[in-house]
């Protein structure tokens, strides 16, 4: 199991501190708990807006900050899809989980004694590859893509332990994540809210 290691910033540090606190509750109070590590949680049309060059982007990176406002506005007009590249020029791979998959894991963990004091990665079976996202959306929806060099690197969470011990399976793969986000129709009273920029 990988040692705790946070990337710079308070959010990642808070995740490490939460896990360490939980481990200490196991040690000091024999707490019957478990840790479900969930990467970026998606629902509704979140994934579509994760790929937006507009101010309506969900999470980070804020694509418009990487290309400039004028270029970003052009990309919004053409519905261009960003393909995030790592420092070596390769498409970044990044972990996501759909909220429905996360809820199914929580329900399983609540009922299984073998989940006691365990840590599980609850994520899609494979990370989202931004290159594959771009190709899929170009093929299925005719959307243009634009490569965006970034300082970011790929990550890969392994959910094998959750599959083995919990009997859990991710229902969402890349295609289902994309299709559900693009097909989602918001009701008029369910307006999209950007809770935090980037």
pLDDT reported for residue 194: 74
Banded pLDDT at 197 (limits 50, 70, 90): low
Please identify which residue in the block is written with the tokens 């070596």: 88
One of 3.40.50.720, 3.40.50.1360, 2.30.30.40, 3.40.50.300 is the CATH number of 10-183, namely 3.40.50.720
Low-confidence winner among 3-12, 112-121, 173-182 (lowest mean pLDDT): 3-12
98 and 172 in contact (C-beta within 8 Å)?
yes
Reported in sequence order, the residue ranges of 45-196 that DSSP labels E, i.e. its strands, are: 81-85, 93-94, 96-98, 119-121, 128-129, 145-149
Banded pLDDT at 52 (limits 50, 70, 90): very high
pLDDT reported for residue 198: 57
**DSSP for 41-55, written as a single string:** EE-TTHHHHHT-SST
Low-confidence winner among 3-7, 9-13, 63-67, 75-79 (lowest mean pLDDT): 3-7
Spans of all domains in the chain: 10-183
Spell out the residues 6+ positions from residue 11 whose beta carbon is closer than 8 angstroms to its own. none
* C-alpha to C-alpha distance for 49 and 46, rounded to whole angstroms: 5
Cα distances (angstroms) measured from residue 157 to each of 83, 162, 167, 181: 20, 11, 17, 22
pLDDT at 111 over 80: yes
pLDDT reported for residue 192: 84
pLDDT at 54 over 60: yes
User: Strand 96-98 vs strand 40-42: parallel, antiparallel, or unpaired?
Assistant: parallel
Banded pLDDT at 22 (limits 50, 70, 90): very high
pLDDT tens, residue by residue, 151-194: 999 998 999 999 999 999 999 999 999 999 999 999 989 888 87
Banded pLDDT at 196 (limits 50, 70, 90): low
| Sign, CA torsion 101/103/107/110 | positive
User: Strand 35-37 vs strand 81-85: parallel, antiparallel, or unpaired?
Assistant: unpaired
């Amino acid at each position: 199991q990988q040692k705790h290691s946070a990337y710079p910033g308070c959010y990642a540090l808070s995740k490490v501190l939460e896990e360490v606190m939980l481990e200490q509750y196991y040690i000091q109070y024999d707490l019957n708990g478990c840790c479900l590590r969930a990467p970026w949680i998606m629902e509704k049309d979140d994934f579509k807006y994760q790929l937006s060059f507009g101010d309506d982007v969900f999470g980070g990176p804020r694509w418009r900050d990487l290309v400039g406002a004028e270029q970003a506005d052009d990309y919004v007009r053409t519905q261009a899809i960003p393909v995030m590249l790592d420092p070596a020029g390769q498409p970044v791979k990044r972990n996501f989980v759909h909220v429905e998959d996360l809820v199914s894991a929580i329900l399983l963990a609540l009922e299984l004694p073998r989940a006691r004091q365990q840590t599980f990665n609850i994520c899609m079976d494979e990370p989202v590859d931004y290159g594959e996202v771009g190709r899929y959306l170009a093929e299925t929806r005719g959307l243009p893509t634009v490569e965006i060099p970034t300082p970011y690197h790929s990550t890969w969470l392994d959910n094998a332990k959750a599959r083995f011990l919990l009997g859990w399976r991710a229902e969402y793969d890349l295609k289902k994540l994309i299709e559900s986000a693009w097909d989602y129709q918001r009701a008029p009273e369910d307006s999209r809210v950007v809770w935090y920029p980037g």
